[in-house]
Amino acid sequence: MSTNLTIGKGINAGLRRAMEADPKVLIMGEDVGKLGGVFRVTDGLHKDFGADRVIDTPLAESGIIGTAIGLALRGYRPVCEIQFDGFFFPAANQTFSQLAKMRRRSAGKLKLPVVIRIPYGGGIGAVEHHSESPEAYFTHTAGLRAVTVANAVDAYWMIQQAIASDDPVIFFEPKRRYYEKAEVDTEAPLHAAAPMGGARIARPGTDATLVAYGPMVKTALQAAAAETERSIEVVDLRSLAPVDYDTVVESVKRTGRLIVTHEAPLTGGLGSELAARVTEECFYHLESPVIRVAAFDTPYPQSRLEEHYLPDLDRVLDGVDRAFAY
Amino acid sequence: MSDNTAHEEPELVQLLTPEGVFTEHPDYPLDIDPEEVRGLYRDLVLVRRVDQEAVALQRQGELGLWASLLGQEAAQIGSGRALRPDDMAFPSYREHGVAWCRGIQPRELLGMFRGVTNGGWDPNEHGFHLYTIVIGSQALHATGYAMGVQRDGSVGENGSAVISYFGDGATSQGDTNEAFNFAAVNNAPVVFFCQNNQWAISEPLERQSRVPLYKRASGFGFPGVRVDGNDVLACLAVTRSALNNAREGQGPTLIEAFTYRMGAHTTNDDPSRYRVAAELEEWERKDPILRMRAYLENEGLADDAFFAQVETESDRLAERVRHECRTMSDPDPLDIFAEVYAEPNVHIDRQRAEFADYLASFEDSGAEGGR
Ligand SMILES: Cc1ncc(C[n+]2csc(CCOP(=O)(O)OP(=O)(O)O)c2C)c(N)n1
């Protein structure tokens, strides 16, 4: 059955289906219960699954991730909600030094099926700590998987895949796109969905490859649509760790140019990593240097300036122009 | 909510009943003249008015967000007026009343919520640190600052003290508990002022603590006291006493101001999803402003002319706040790169220059938004 869902509702429906399928799946976080989360992503789950499975935790992120580790060690599959990107950091120790490393330390004897959902990115006019794009910290940490979604179809399926994964998965939700809609076939079998590890060609093209993920996919598609003379291929990365380099490299081999765009600051961002890898793997196919269109290396600014800070359609098009200037 | 009836426990320090009847407290004598009492009333009314205007301005799209202090005026004014000029306060994000006491102009507060600044005032000039949004962080900053005060030899007769503000939810954070411990083992001159407004967004106190919050202090080895947070006189007396103890070298105190958040958590929140109207009605009877007004009238400490004058002043203030908010201009885009580092930074300079060129390219082409 096909249903018209927003990204937010898609995640909600995916969570519901995962909870119905497996009684070990738990939801935990601040305000996830009666309120349904500040973005209402867990709306209705508390009512239907009860306070034992949808846990309003004390206001302590280290506590949320730390106890989720313990629950996972005991056979549960906790899905933790961090309320906003900027509030993840109190949980950094538990995530980076504990969660990420336990499987290897136990020589594979321990499983850590913990999902950490983080609404991330800017563009909603919020006060500070509510608009950050911290994905590079996670992609730099071995032992964690990181994914993000750009449409409701992926939202619905990928949250279920993240929960089913025996690895810890950081699930980045593009908060400014929560209300974007798409048709989702909510009754297809889970195994039939595109795996969360792979990138997706969101729009085919022949002259340049534009890589984006999460909130920037929409902007990238707009940029490709605005380019009437040049044919731009848009790749939606979906998985940030590991990155599906094969899809990107194949695309660049066909188009000869690569532009990467993200909301996160330029330096040390995923764009830098892609530029390095693509240069290594298809140097002789490249017609121009890899161009990065990212946010600045400054703290996220006051909201009245975020339109300047975040790469917008013009900045992405400017990046495309730069790639064709060679 | 069993704990929420605990305000009737004997340990709640109260000087003014909800009906405005004054009783002395043996441990917290209040040395205050009628002029100061009227001043407290004026403060309560004016900060409530600023708050109401800010909520309205948010509804009109002039502010991105506002965290209302409605119901918490007495806790903030009482504790704020207990501070001396050289004391230092470390607020969270709802302390508009304390900011008022520290001489911060309402427009300086609005800037952050309008999105024109991430700070808004000089913390050293006012003895009032920047608002802190990441819950619990500032409790450690306050403690470290107090450790500095101690090292500077500024503890003693004319010493100064530090105060940290946070909510009931914040007591769950590691940072807050670490602050308690650092303060205790160092005997730091810091007062922890917890405004227990019963809710952390949608989560009631029972989701944060199984013990009354003021009792936490004893586990760390310092005194804790619960004060009626809707009683400005009690908040003043208790905070003064704790600050004096701190500055005289007797170390930290945890004050739990037992109060209630009468509005939504912020303008983004919808409390009807998680709390019942009856609870609000119960607390409306304990309104901090009504109680002070009743006291002033009962004791003949203020006449009609005084109340009328405060009313007029409040109208004028509201008008000023509206005007100042609406006429606040957006920052220059290049402000993004300002003050990221103290030292010159080539990396930032380069990005700034590139972005300036990029912006200029639109001006040259004369087009709105480029191509
Ligand atoms: C570390 C962190 N986690 C989550 C949040 C989101 N958040 C903002 S306010 C709030 C509730 C705070 O409750 P409390 O400490 O009781 O203070 P109050 O707002 O009631 O004054 C939450 C969860 C945050 N700001 N910081």
Task: Calculate what percentage of chain A has a pLDDT beyond 90.
Answer: 99
> Residue A58 and residue B172: Cβ atoms within 8 Å?
yes
A296 close to A309: Cβ distance less than 8 angstroms: yes
pLDDT at res. B364 = 75
- CATH number of the domain bearing residue A270: 3.40.50.920
Q: If phi over 0 gives left and psi between -120 and 50 gives alpha, with beta otherwise, what is residue B273? A: alpha
pLDDT at res. B158 = 85
- A114 pLDDT higher than 70: yes
- Residue tagged active-site, from B240, B265, B291, B293: B265
Its sign, for the CA torsion B267, B271, B277, B278, is: negative
Confidence of residue A284 (pLDDT cuts 50, 70, 90): very high
On whether both B296 and B364 belong to a single domain, the answer is no
Tell me the pLDDT tens digit for each residue of A315-326: 999 999 999 999
Q: Tell me how close the Cα of A293 comes to any Cα of chain B, in angstroms.
A: 12
B25 carries an active-site annotation: no
Closest CA to A118 of A95, A84, A158, A166: A84
> Residue A34 and residue B340: Cβ atoms within 8 Å?
no
Q: Tell me how close the Cα of A243 comes to any Cα of chain B, in angstroms.
A: 27
pLDDT at res. B366 = 60
> Residue B113 and residue A30: Cβ atoms within 8 Å?
no
Residue among B118, B136, B200 minimizing CB distance to A128: B118
Q: Indicate the number of domains in chain B.
A: 2
On whether both B255 and B353 belong to a single domain, the answer is no
> Residue B333 and residue A126: Cβ atoms within 8 Å?
no
On whether both A269 and A139 belong to a single domain, the answer is no
Interface test with B, best of A56, A87, A93 (most B CBs within 10 A): A56
Query: What average pLDDT does the segment A153-165 reach?
Result: 98
C-alpha of residue B134 to centroid of ligand 1, in Å: 7
On whether both A188 and A41 belong to a single domain, the answer is yes
| Residue whose tokens read 């919020």 | A126
- Ligand 1 atom nearest to CA at B67: 19
Cβ under 8 Å to A: B residues 292-321 = none
Longest dimension (CA), chain A: 60
Nearest residue by C-alpha to atom 17 in ligand 1: B167
H or E element, residue B254: strand B253-258
pTM: 0.96
On whether both A218 and A157 belong to a single domain, the answer is no
Q: Is B347 on the interface with A (CB under 8 A)?
A: yes
| Residue whose tokens read 């490393």 | A101
Task: Calculate what percentage of chain A has a pLDDT beyond 70.
Answer: 100
> Residue A302 and residue B65: Cβ atoms within 8 Å?
no
- Residue tagged active-site, from B59, B207, B274, B358: B274
Q: Which of A64, A65, A83 to mutate to test the pocket of ligand 1 (most atoms within 8 A of CB)?
A: A83
Tell me the pLDDT tens digit for each residue of A96-105: 999 999 999 9
Q: Is B250 on the interface with A (CB under 8 A)?
A: no
Report residue B157 as tokens: 């007769």
Domain end marker among A170, A192, A214: A192
Q: Indicate the number of domains in chain A.
A: 2
* Whole-angstrom distance, CA of residue B131 vs CA of residue B109: 9
DSSP SS3 for B28 = coil
Q: Is B29 on the interface with A (CB under 8 A)?
A: no
Query: What average pLDDT does the segment A181-196 reach?
Result: 97
> Residue B64 and residue A303: Cβ atoms within 8 Å?
yes
* Whole-angstrom distance, CA of residue B361 vs CA of residue A76: 56
Domain holding B245, by residue range, is: 3-326
Residue among B114, B330, B348 minimizing CB distance to A297: B348
pLDDT at res. B367 = 55
B261 carries an active-site annotation: yes
- Rounded mean pLDDT for each run of 10 residues along chain B, 371 residues in total: 44 95 96 96 98 98 98 98 98 98 97 96 98 98 98 92 98 98 98 98 97 97 98 98 97 98 97 95 97 97 98 98 97 97 96 97 68 46
* Whole-angstrom distance, CA of residue B112 vs CA of residue A322: 36
pLDDT at res. A208 = 98
Residues of A in contact with B369 (CB under 8 A): 314
- CATH number of the domain bearing residue A136: 3.40.50.970
pLDDT at res. B1 = 39
> Residue B330 and residue A304: Cβ atoms within 8 Å?
yes
On whether both B318 and B338 belong to a single domain, the answer is no
Residues of B in contact with A295 (CB under 8 A): none
User: Mean of the per-residue pLDDT values for chain A?
Assistant: 98
Report the complex ipTM.
0.95
On whether both B153 and B210 belong to a single domain, the answer is yes
- Ligand 1 atom nearest to CA at B166: 15
- A289 pLDDT higher than 80: yes
Q: If phi over 0 gives left and psi between -120 and 50 gives alpha, with beta otherwise, what is residue A31? A: left
> Amino acid letter at B262?
M
For A66, other C-beta atoms within 10 Å of its C-beta total: 18
**Cβ-based neighbours of A106, under 8 Å, separated by 6 or more:** none
On whether both B153 and B286 belong to a single domain, the answer is yes
Domain holding A160, by residue range, is: 2-192
C-alpha of residue A300 to centroid of ligand 1, in Å: 20
Q: Specify the pairing of strand A258-265 against strand A208-212.
A: parallel
On whether both A216 and A288 belong to a single domain, the answer is yes
- Which residue in chain B is spatially nearest to A309 when comparing CA positions? B336
Domain end marker among A159, A192, A225: A192
On whether both A276 and A137 belong to a single domain, the answer is no
